[in-house]
Structure 1
Amino acid sequence: MEQNRKESWNVMKWGLGLFIAFVIFRLVTSDKSSPTEESHTSTSEITNNKAFVISQNFVKSALKSPSSADFGGMFAEPRVRNSGNEYIVNHYVDSKNSFGAEVRSRYTCTLTYISGDWADPNNWICNCLVVDGKVAYGCN
């Protein structure tokens, strides 16, 4: 009788262990959003913060040292205005110049969101980028 109780307890421990392992596996490998949801972001889902993040890609492409770019971290407070799918981002970037000195540059980036995944820069158009008063891109 005691032997049967030990065996059933061992079986229960194994079953519980497998169940916990399965739950952990599902949590680790679960996909929070399906690719179809992600690829069809509506204009109303685009926030000013998302436009700010995308503007950083375009600004970095205009810098002498893109890897040194610092946009102020999580405390950054960019000014972003939007009208429909067009966003105007005003902010600054600290980066190294040609001589290796750290400089702060102010920029204005006018963006248009086309469609698709908002995080893909190819789904945006940079209409105009002005860095420290000089046109870096577009502005026709």
Structure 2
Amino acid sequence: MTPADSEDGFSILEMIVAMTILALVLGIASQTIVLAGRSIVKAREQVEAARKVRSIMAQYDADGESGGTAGLDAVAQSGWTVKVQPMGAGKVKLNAIVIENSGSAAGDASFLTFTPARRQNAQ
């Protein structure tokens, strides 16, 4: 037999501990969901920036073959800048190409690539 004054159930201390643990778990879970959402947005922005850089590089290569810069002028109007710096000496000559977008929503976006230097046509 059990004493008449004992009660079944949880004490107030047990309820406080359980609610505290639940609050911690829910807080951690909500932060994880928020961070995952931010990561998805950042990944989408990076994919879009990489796609734009690929199209800029394709335009850069096409302009090099035709000798014009009309396509790169259109790129400049979109907020992206293309900076070309010749590098190398002797037989190995490269162009360092920096493609930047300071107007992006996620902050500054910069890409660096190297291409073989173009030979100037003799006139």
TM-score by length of 1: 0.31
Give 1 or 2 for the bigger CA radius of gyration: 2
Identify the structure with the greater strand proportion: 1
TM-score by length of 2: 0.34
Larger relative contact order (C-alpha < 8 A, sep ≥ 6)?
Answer: 1
Identify the structure with the greater helix proportion: 2
